[in-house]
């Protein structure tokens, strides 16, 4: 059985060692980083099921690190560890993208329980969201297949990732920068033409649907456009 990988970002070397040992005993695979910049670099390598991050760290604090992580992955669970106890700090942590907040000092058993609870919630959401339906199109991300009416297309991983993001935000503008971060973990301008190429292919795949298209929003990104419906329910 594949182990869930946890990214532990903590500048206290002793605490980091203790937590890594305890979490590995619980069956997790743990990668450690000593500050926010190192943590962000590690996260960009991909493959993490959850992030545990201290708040007060050198070079890049936990709040800012997680804010940047959210540009890469909006959904990975994040737990903050901190000695800060004010309500303002707790609110700030959740605003930056945290899912839970553990105050120091804490019992390791408490952290383990919170980690397992977040991963159970993630697993439940993944089952629920395994297939996304927009109009007459169905995206099966797990098998990387797109069905449009009676037609079925096998997607590349990158095509599936881009469609997954667009299908989750129908009739909304999705920034090109956000798509590039999700696909390539950066927003390098050189990747913009690559993104355009994938969008062109996806438009062709969707051409057999009932009026669904990907529109270019100049200078911003793309929008998955659904046909408007009249009062009687007919497409207009």
Which of 10-19, 33-42, 192-201 has the least mean pLDDT?
192-201
Torsion angle of C-alpha atoms 183, 186, 191, 192, degrees rounded to 10: 90
> What is the spatial distance between Cα 72 and Cα 187, in angstroms, rounded to a whole number?
10
The end-to-end CA distance of the chain, in Å, is: 50
Torsion angle of C-alpha atoms 151, 172, 187, 57, degrees rounded to 10: -120
> What is the spatial distance between Cα 20 and Cα 31, in angstroms, rounded to a whole number?
8
Domain ranges of the chain: 5-128, 131-225
CB 196 within 8 A of CB 158: no
Span 5-128: which CATH code? 3.40.50.2300
Query: What are the tens digits of pLDDT across the range 175-217?
Result: 999 898 888 777 777 788 889 999 999 999 998 888 899 999 9
Structure confidence at residue 236 as a pLDDT band (50, 70, 90): very low
Q: In the prediction, which pLDDT does 195 show?
A: 93
Q: In the prediction, which pLDDT does 126 show?
A: 60
Q: In the prediction, which pLDDT does 234 show?
A: 41
Query: What are the tens digits of pLDDT across the range 74-128?
Result: 778 999 998 876 778 778 888 888 888 888 889 999 999 999 988 887 776 665 5
Q: In the prediction, which pLDDT does 27 show?
A: 95
Which CATH topology does 131-225 take? Arc Repressor Mutant, subunit A (1.10.10)
């Amino acid at each position: 059985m594949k182990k869930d990988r946890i990214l532990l970002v903590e500048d206290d070397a002793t605490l980091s060692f203790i937590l890594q040992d305890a979490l590995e005993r619980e069956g997790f695979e743990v990668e450690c980083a000593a500050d926010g910049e190192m943590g962000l670099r590690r996260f960009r390598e991909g493959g993490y099921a959850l992030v545990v991050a201290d708040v007060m760290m050198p070079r890049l604090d936990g709040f800012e690190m997680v804010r940047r992580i959210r540009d890469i992955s909006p959904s990975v669970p994040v737990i903050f560890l901190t000695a800060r106890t004010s309500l303002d700090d707790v609110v700030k942590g959740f605003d930056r993208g945290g899912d839970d907040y553990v105050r120091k000092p804490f019992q390791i058993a408490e952290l383990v329980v919170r980690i397992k609870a977040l991963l159970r919630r993630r697993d439940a959401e993944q089952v629920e969201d395994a297939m996304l339906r927009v109009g007459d199109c169905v995206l099966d991300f797990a098998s990387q297949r797109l069905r449009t009416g009676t037609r079925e297309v096998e997607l590349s991983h990158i095509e599936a990732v881009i469609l997954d993001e667009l299908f989750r935000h129908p009739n909304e503008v999705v920034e090109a920068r956000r798509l590039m971060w999700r696909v390539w973990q950066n927003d390098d301008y050189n990747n913009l033409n690559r993104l355009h190429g994938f969008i062109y292919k996806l438009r062709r795949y969707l051409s057999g649907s009932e009026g669904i298209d990907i529109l270019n929003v100049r200078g911003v990104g793309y929008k998955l456009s659904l046909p408007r419906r009249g009062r009687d329910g007919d497409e207009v």
